[in-house]
Structure 1
């Protein structure tokens, strides 16, 4: 066996070991998160913030894309929970897709302005969240999110798994404490969120 073949074999072995080690860490990390523990939290945060695309490709060997996003969301929620609680101002971001198809609300510079018509769950969520001290925004896109962000605030987002993960990843890289809750049913219209769970979490995170 020539020297180049030996180098090639060693390289393949090293790459294989790295992939196996990374997948093992992902699996162990997920199990620990379920038990309210985080393995090497600062290292895990650095890797997820900056190398999520590589981690996703590796994770697809053993699971689905949505499962990866779910793990990432659960990690961010656990990592930032105490930091979120300690913020003086808390912002709730709701997706416009929660609205009823015949929603009469209009778009303003601050997002969709709910008129409390009762056609969807947004009015109920908005009323309770405001009573708990949250600023509430119903946003049609990520540009609105960037417009209202403030470094002294904590952000609680509701969205589909993919959008929520990338939103939390963006906030984490900005060192903005966040929490998130995935939709039960996603899509572009008439999506569904677990309202009871959301309101309970908003209250417990004050």
Structure 2
């Protein structure tokens, strides 16, 4: 009888702790999102630890108050803000562009280093590359995440700027953060597998300001 009462008390305490953690997690997400919009971070190192290691749990909690895509956008904004200063200080930077930004009739060929732009003018990738190289970025146009892993292994960049859909960009920045590599990201305005769209003016402006 005593043991049964003890187990009930332990169960009640455990349930209470989980409820409190749940409530606190929601409050942190809400407050963190509001402050992020105001260009401020709350407990940045703690937030980074949670985002890096418990993003799947944070996502489940966030789904109670928002959408999955919104969570990814919040995560991207957080990583951009957290790593902005460290990114600026890095010297060996790479820009990773998705091959889906190309025109559907792009004549460029896929090589072991990704798609090699020939500056045909069919899309804006050529303009982006020119600005990036002027600001000391090495540029890769990649067909998938496996290329990013190769770039990290072979190039060993000090910082990475990525362009991708919200989901892929978040997971890419999360992976880089866990490796201790500062990153910046620019989400696509229109995603998909072909003829995607990015805000070119904003991207070029950020590449210049983050050099």
TM-score by length of 2: 0.93
Residue 34 of structure 2 aligns with which residue? 31
Query: Partners of 1:128 and 1:94 in 2: how far apart?
Result: 13
Check conservation: 2:94, 2:157, Cα contact below 8 A.
Answer: no
Bigger CA drift: 34-43 or 75-84? 34-43
Query: Partners of 1:110 and 1:5 in 2: how far apart?
Result: 61
- Cα displacement string for residues 72-94 of structure 1 (whole angstroms, at most 9, x for unaligned residues): 10110011000000011111100
* Structure 1 position 2, deviation (Å): 4.9
* Structure 1 position 4, deviation (Å): 4.3
Aligned-CA RMSD value = 1.4
Instruction: Name the SS of the counterpart of 1:103 in structure 2.
Output: coil
Q: Structure 2: 5+ residue runs without aligned partners?
A: none
Check conservation: 1:56, 1:68, Cα contact below 8 A.
Answer: yes
1:88 aligns with 2:91: yes
* Structure 1 position 117, deviation (Å): 1.1
Aligned residues: 206
1:61 aligns with 2:43: no
TM-score by length of 1: 0.95
Check conservation: 1:151, 1:176, Cα contact below 8 A.
Answer: no
Check conservation: 1:172, 1:178, Cα contact below 8 A.
Answer: yes
* Structure 1 position 197, deviation (Å): 0.3
Bigger CA drift: 181-190 or 145-154? 145-154
Query: Partners of 1:124 and 1:154 in 2: how far apart?
Result: 21
Residue 178 of structure 1 aligns with which residue? 183
Residue 167 of structure 1 aligns with which residue? 172
1:120 aligns with 2:123: yes
Q: How does 1:36-55 map to 2 (within 5 A)?
A: 36-55=39-58
Aligned structure 1 segments of 4 or more residues deviating by more than 3 angstroms? 1-10
Residue 142 of structure 1 aligns with which residue? 145
Query: Partners of 1:175 and 1:5 in 2: how far apart?
Result: 44
Q: How does 1:10-25 map to 2 (within 5 A)?
A: 10-25=13-28
Query: Partners of 1:130 and 1:20 in 2: how far apart?
Result: 47
